[in-house]
Amino acid sequence: MRHVSAGSGNRTETMLSVSDLSLELATYDGTVQVLDNINLAVGRRETIGVVGETGCGKSVLAKSVLDLLPRAIARYRRGSIRWKGENLLSATRKRLRQVRGTEIGMVFQDPMTFFDPLYTAGSYMMEAIGHRERVKGDGGSRARRKAEAIDLLGRLGLTEPDRVFDSYPHQLSGGMRQRVLIAAAIAGSPELIIADEPTTALDVTVQAQILHLLKEIVETRDTSILLISHDLGVIASMCERIVVMYAGTIVETGTKRQLLSRPAHPYTIGLISAVPRLGYPQKQVKGIAGHIPNLLNPPPGCRFAPRCHKATALCRKVKPELATFSGGRQVACHHPEPFE
């Protein structure tokens, strides 16, 4: 069986490549098997989407790339995380600090974990721009940096960017904080942006504005994006390639067209049927019955088997491998829907 990472393959230069990554978290309750054999790659100027229900390990995956999980509890069992060929799992703290912000920018799901209440929104932006200028040698005056920061806040749909610039985190709404966080990530001009639910706290018009800006950045700045969301609609509007995660595993990957028109994995089919469509009565939205399994003690075979209407004894016993098919689609299922 061929093992190919979800993502760019050989089409473009690979920027980020996660290979065979398995991660456990040591908690008071026991060991949580939070990521199991994750493979994905993001090419230059590519936007890859990771989608899955709450608790399936999307944020843990995002944080693992920049070593942002608490070191006391995170245990990497296997695998590598390569950034332009360099394995970040063995990088020094100094090197990781260099990578964060200027090479890889991160938009956190919960902005409050990022902000210190003693610093204004503007100070984060000034720091990001200043850091970029030091690294890239394109330094300018403080006034020019401030003008750049305020312009960016305005482009993210903040109506009073000057006021936001001078505000402390507690003076801003959740949606405003989220946009400041996005602005700070963009301001550093990183080569890759990892955006974890970047628009979840925002209303749909602002969401559209931000997604548009992210697209523009990919096109004009040679940037790649790893976009993480539980919202298949957001992922489909932004990404040509999609990775579907379930309970710490990748269950299916493919192009947007492959996945949306002929999904193969029963979980992907469930995710698609759970998206409400305009004009359809609510009762036609089916969703997926049941819950993600407890990762302290995941099911021995396919992690989706307890919720799957197609599950057999084989599924409950033997874990399906992520197999690669024509067109680069990958599926981890003993009984996929016909898709070729």
Ligand X SMILES: Nc1ncnc2c1ncn2[C@@H]1O[C@H](COP(=O)(O)OP(=O)(O)OP(=O)(O)O)[C@@H](O)[C@H]1O
Catalog residues that contact ligand X under the rule CB under 6 A.
25, 27, 32, 34, 52, 54-60, 70, 73, 109, 230, 295
Is there binding between residue 199 and Mg ion (CB under 5 A)?
A: no
Q: Choosing among ligand X, Mg ion, none, which partner's interface includes residue 60 (Cβ < 5 to 8 Å by kind)?
A: ligand X
Q: Which stretch binds Mg ion (CB under 5 A): 50-58, 94-102, 243-251, 316-324?
A: 50-58
Taking the least distance from each CB to Mg ion, the nearer of 50 and 192 is 50
Q: Choosing among Mg ion, ligand X, none, which partner's interface includes residue 250 (Cβ < 5 to 8 Å by kind)?
A: none
Structure tokens given for 12 = 């473009």
> Min. distance of Cβ 26 from ligand X in angstroms?
9
Handedness of CA 155, 156, 158, 164 (dihedral sign): negative
Which x/- pattern over 63-102 shows residues binding Mg ion (rule: CB under 5 A)? ----------------------------------------
Partners of 31 in the β-ladder:
26
Contact predicate 315/302, CB 8 Å? yes
> Min. distance of Cβ 63 from ligand X in angstroms?
8
* Of positions 5, 8, 37, 59, contacts Mg ion by CB under 5 A: 59
> Min. distance of Cβ 107 from ligand X in angstroms?
13
User: H helices within 188-339, ranges in order?
Assistant: 204-221, 232-238, 256-261, 266-273, 313-317
Report how far apart, in Å, the C-alpha atoms of 246 and of each of 142, 186, 338 are: 46, 29, 20
> Min. distance of Cβ 68 from ligand X in angstroms?
10
Question: Can you tell me which residue has the tokens 């947007």?
Answer: 256
> Min. distance of Cβ 16 from ligand X in angstroms?
17
- Angle, vertex CA 229, rays to CA 233 and CA 173, nearest 5: 100
Q: Which residue is nearest to Mg ion (CB)?
A: 59
Size of the site for Mg ion (CB under 5 A): 3
Q: Choosing among Mg ion, ligand X, none, which partner's interface includes residue 43 (Cβ < 5 to 8 Å by kind)?
A: none
Strand stretches in the chain, DSSP E: 6-7, 14-27, 30-43, 47-51, 74-83, 86-87, 104-107, 192-196, 224-229, 241-246, 249-255, 323-324, 330-331
Pairing of strands 249-255, 14-27: unpaired
* Of positions 37, 109, 178, 224, contacts Mg ion by CB under 5 A: 109
294: left (phi over 0), alpha (psi -120 to 50) or beta: beta
Residues at the contact surface with Mg ion, assessed by CB under 5 A: 58-59, 109
